[in-house]
Amino acid sequence: MRYGRGPDILTNLNLSLAPGSFHFVTGPSGAGKTSLLKLIYLAAKPSKGHVHLFGRDMAQAPASARPKLRRRIGVVFQDLVLLEHLSAFDNTALPLRIAGRKPADYRTDVAELLSWVGLGQRMNAMPPTLAGGERQRLAIARAVVNRPEILLADEPTGNVDHEMALRIFRLFVELNRLGTTVLIATHDQDLIARSGRPVLHLENGRITARPAPALQGNLL
């Protein structure tokens, strides 16, 4: 993958994520972690090669099928992409509304999830009034509210304190236990070391698999 006429960001990358797996992606800044997530989320196309999702070659999938496929993927972006005119509750509930669910069916679930990420008292707040860490937690709640089949997270704990980072990680673990495939791009080496999950390392455009580190402490 490359942008325009620039150098390759990702080179000869061959990666398969088993359903229900949990991996971290690490690497220096600019190594291509965000680009990798964009390829999986269908926000970018490979310059060469193919992306297969849910058993389908995305090069062969019609454009009309992509929105439905994306709804099966939860994404926590670095830039958050919150809708400023919607409350924290409505931002979180948006994927459920798009899927056609009625408010009466999801109101309790959304409220419980916002409480879990520490926003139970801020459900009616608008994003511009939230602090950076609160906005980060709101973006995470929106990404996981519909229990996606794949969860992609780009530095999800970058703007929260250590205690909240562990709480968010436990939420991801619980989703994984329910069958969600989880891929987290992060620089948080402490979280990785204490997670016991395998690591994919990106550097110089190439990816290498590293075994799960010896578990340090108990995060669960």
The confidence score (pLDDT) of residue 214 equals 66
Q: Which of 130, 154, 128 is nearest to 143 (CA)?
A: 154
Instruction: Determine the structural domain holding residue 154 and report its residue range.
Output: 22-83+133-210
pLDDT profile of the chain (220 residues), mean per 10: 86 90 91 91 90 90 86 84 93 91 93 92 94 88 91 86 84 90 90 87 89 61
CATH of the domain at 194: 3.40.50.300
Tell whether 101 is covered by a domain.
no
Local structure of residue 118 (DSSP, 8 states): T
The angle subtended at Cα 62 by Cα 59 and Cα 66, nearest 5°, is 90
**Cα–Cα dist 179/183, whole Å:** 13
Q: Which of 47, 92, 37 is nearest to 70 (CA)?
A: 37
Tokens 């070391």 identify what position?
Answer: 193
**Cα–Cα dist 65/198, whole Å:** 32
Structure token digits, residue 22: 């949990």
Give this prediction's pTM: 0.86
What is the number of domains present in the chain?
Answer: 1
- Name the pairing type of β-strands 206-210 and 199-203: antiparallel
Tell whether 6 is covered by a domain.
no
- The residue length of the chain stands at 220
The confidence score (pLDDT) of residue 189 equals 84
Q: What are phi and psi of 200, to 5 degrees?
A: -105, 125
Local structure of residue 35 (DSSP, 8 states): H
Tell whether 61 is covered by a domain.
yes
Tell whether 192 is covered by a domain.
yes
Tell whether 103 is covered by a domain.
no
The confidence score (pLDDT) of residue 65 equals 86
Tell whether 121 is covered by a domain.
no
